[in-house]
Amino acid sequence: MRRKLVIGNWKMNGNRAGNSALLSGIVAGLNDFGADCAVCVPAPYLAQCQAELTGTPVAWGGQDVSVHACGAYTGEVSAAMLADFGSTYVLCGHSERRAYHGESSALVAQKAVAALGLGLTAVVCVGETLEQREAGQTEEVICAQLQAVLDVIEPAQISKLVLAYEPVWAIGTGKTATPQIAQDAHRFLRDCVAKKDAAAAQAVQILYGGSMKPENAKELMAQPDIDGGLIGGAALKASDFLGIIQAV
């Protein structure tokens, strides 16, 4: 059975004092809920996470990674830098990176390769916009986004991926995909992975990233192919984040 995983994406939020209170609240409230837990934070706070979370059940990681190992790439953060601060995870191709920074699926795939090459778990995000969904293109879009990654990694590396389905139309809009809509997308993604490696498809964790909250987390995570959540706003409040973990 796949273990559940809940990852908090702080996005561009946080300060040292607030972070410390949030992290200590999460650690203090954790029990053996049967789920793994992590936070993906702005790069300046990786050192703080390493200092405050080492030895706790909470892992940490970055929100983006460069395709380059080092060099004249001002403002970018390499996989080696993330690893240097004890990171476990890094987000690749979050919908905001795709939308606001024009990241293509090919670029996202290279970021995943860079992360995997340094032993990080690449959290590959895929998802469709409202316009794409209304045009009946959901499966076409998310399969193409995923396939770009599957085309450039070895089957053995699939186990070091986490997938996150982000219905862009349900992020920050107050809308949430019904559990069945989310399950259908997760099952489709698992079927796409199975075409490359059937065993890996059954093992890979697929997270739901469309405004999961304590109120809907239990029903969503009860679906057979939803293995946890990539949490945005609810990850910024310890009680909400813990409520989602407890829903497992």
C-alpha 146/C-alpha 186 separation (Å) is 12
Q: How far apart are CA 124 and CA 91, in angstroms?
A: 6
Q: Provide the residue count of the chain.
A: 248
Give yes or no for a contact between 176 and 214, defined as CB atoms under 8 angstroms apart: no
Catalytic residue among 52, 103, 128, 166: 166
Query: What angle in degrees, to the nearest 10, is found between the helix axes of 46-53 and 16-29?
Result: 30
Active site residue 186: no
CA–CA distance, 243 with 248 (Å, rounded to integer): 9
Q: Which member of 94, 103, 128, 186 is catalytic?
A: 94
Known catalytic residue at 94: yes
Residue 9, classed as helix, strand or coil, is strand
Can you tell me the distance from the alpha carbon of 6 to that of 161, in angstroms, rounded to the nearest whole number? 14
Query: Hey, is 89 helix, strand or coil?
Result: strand
Residues 6+ apart with CB under 8 A from 49: 19, 23, 39, 41, 60, 85, 86
Which residues form the catalytic set? 94, 166
